[in-house]
Structure 1
Amino acid sequence: MFILKRQDVEITSIPHPKRDQQIPILNYQGQTFRLINVFQAEQAEEARAFWRDLTDNHGKACVLLEEPERYSVWGKIRLEQLSSEDSKEGEAVATAYIQGCLLLIQAVYFDVEDLLGNRQAKSFYKDFSKVLKQRNFPNTDSPDAINALLTVDPVKKLQLPSWREVHLYTLLQEVYRLGEEYFGNSNFAEGIDEIIEPMPSSERTQFMAWLNQFPEGKKWAIK
């Protein structure tokens, strides 16, 4: 929708109506946008691809804010939506999507641990934690919560986090990047059919259909 510079916009924060946290809000020409994702200065290409995917493939009204030290993507929102459970932006996504994504991420983590050793597994945990913190993921405010995401069965035992689709897009993109960094190729966590086998058949079908709808997902779907 827009590619803007810092001098073009006003950034403020407002208290979340239901949680003890501040929500960054970008104001531009009478429109308000909520922070979706943050990229480092050297991730310009990834930031533009993420912004373009949301606008072109998912029909979302988004701003890409270019600053010297970072890039950030903001999604249009009405402030009253923040207190409304009817807002699509605020709804948690289908259970199958979260379960499937966590199974893929756990497969990468277990591959790191099995093939590269405990030291690299600890390093992966730190990198994964950094992604969650930088991207403002809810329900990830303790080491135990993060460890559970990497190790506890999301189909039977894990209490699933309240994430939106944009969280899942980000997670798939960032963990894929980490997998390539750790293994030096894209051959990690192969055999997606086997990885998501613990899910019921109907939910596997639902997850795969969703995964094939966007670029970050298709990279995983072909494994």
Structure 2
Amino acid sequence: MFILKRQDVEITSITHPKGEQKIPILNYQGQTFRLINIFKAEQAEEARTFWRDLTDNRGKACVLLEEPDRYSVWGKIRLEQLATEEANENETVTTACIHGCLFLVQAVYFDVEDLLGNRQAKSFQKDFSKVLKEKNFPDIDSADAIKALLIDDPLTKLQLPSWREVHLYTLLQEVHRLGEEYFGNSNFAEGIDEILEPMNTPERNQFIAWLSQSPEGKKWAMK
């Protein structure tokens, strides 16, 4: 939609009508946008790709904000419909999508543990925890809860977090980045069919269809 500079916009925050959470709001020419994702200054290309995928492939009305030390992507929203839109976004994330994303995340973690050793696995846990906290993921109130996301069976043992679609986009993006940092390439967690084998066929097909259309799908769907 737009690529904007910091001087073009006004950024404020509001309290979500259903809780005490502060939500950053970007104002531009009478339009309001809610923060979707933040990228470091050196992630310019990733930020532009994420923004283009949302606008071109997902039909989202988004702006990309360029600042000297970071990039951020914001999605258009009407403040009076915030509570309703929050509910609608929650509905777009099926159990299959959360299951599938967690299986991919766990595959990367177990590859780190098996191939690089226990010390690196513990380091990965710390980096994973840092990502979830910095990106304000809900339902990560303890170290045990975060570790469970990496080791517990999503189908039977794990109480699934209440994540929205944007959380899943961010999760796949950040874990793929971590995988590249730990392995030095993007050949980790290969064989998506094998990784998703525990899921039943309808759920697996639903997740793969969602993944192929998501902003981060190109990075994962070919594995």
TM norm. shorter chain > 0.5:
yes
Task: Name the aligned partner's letter for residue 126 of structure 1.
Answer: K
Query: Taking structure 2 as the reference length, what is the TM-score of the superposition?
Result: 0.94
Residues 147-158 of structure 1: pairs in structure 2 closer than 5 A? 147-158=147-158
2:49 equivalent to 1:49:
yes
| Stretch deviating more after TM superposition (46-55 or 209-218) | 209-218
CA distance in 1, matches of 2:144, 2:77: 32
TM-score norm. by structure 1 comes to 0.94
Q: Do the aligned partners of 2:50 and 2:215 also contact (CA within 8 Å) in 1?
A: no
Q: Deviations over 1:99-118 (max 9, x none)?
A: 00000100100110111111
Residue 218 of structure 1, CA deviation? 2.9
Report the Cα distance in structure 2 between the residues aligned to 1:2 and 1:216, rounded to whole angstroms.
Answer: 21
Q: Give CA deviations for 1:181-206 in whole Å, capped at 9, x if unaligned.
A: 11112221122111111111110111
Cα 1:91–1:113 change in 2 (3 A) is: same
C-alpha displacement of 1:87: 4.9
2-structure distance, mates of 1:47, 1:63: 11
Tell me by how many angstroms 1:51 deviates: 0.7
Tell me the distance in 2 between the aligned counterparts of 1:44 and 1:127: 21
Which residue of structure 2 lines up, in the alignment, with residue 111 of structure 1?
111
| C-alpha distance in structure 2 between counterparts of 1:69 and 1:219, whole Å | 25
> How big is each residue's C-alpha offset from its partner over 1:121-172, in whole Å with a ceiling of 9 and x where there is no partner?
1111121122222222222232122111111111112111122222212211
The Cα shift of 1:20 comes to: 2.4
Aligned-partner SS, 1:212 = helix
Q: Show the counterpart of 2:23.
A: 23
- Distance of 2:12 and 2:151 partners within structure 1: 37
Structure 2 counterparts to residues 104-183 of structure 1, below 5 A: 104-183=104-183
C-alpha change, 1:184 and 1:28, in structure 2 (3 Å) is same
Structure 2 unaligned spans of 5+: none
Amino acid at match of 1:19: G
Residue-pair matches, total: 223
> What SS does the corresponding residue of 2:123 show, helix, strand or coil?
helix
- Alpha-carbon distance change, 151 to 19 in structure 1, aligned in 2, over 3 angstroms: farther
Q: Name the CA distance, whole Å, in 1 between partners of 2:22 and 2:86.
A: 21
- Separation in 2, partners of 1:155, 1:123: 26
* Counterpart in the other structure of 1:72: 72
Stretches of structure 1 lacking an aligned partner (at least 5 in a row): none
Structure 1 residue 39 corresponds to structure 2 residue 11: no
Mapped partners of 1:134, 1:45: distance in 2: 21
Q: What is the alpha-carbon distance in structure 2 between the residues aligned to residue 116 and residue 86 of structure 1?
A: 40
Overall identity of the aligned pairs, in %: 81
**1:44 positional shift:** 0.8
- In 1: Cα distance, 2:64 partner to 2:141 partner: 27
**Aligned partners of 1:85 and 1:91 also within 8 Å:** no
Q: Measure how far apart 1:80 and its partner are.
A: 2.2
3-state SS in 1 of match to 2:157 = coil
Tell me the secondary structure at the aligned position of residue 4 of structure 2: strand
CA-based RMSD of the aligned residues comes to 1.6
Which residue of structure 1 lines up, in the alignment, with residue 184 of structure 2? Answer: 184
| Contact 2:169 2:215 survives alignment (8 Å) | no
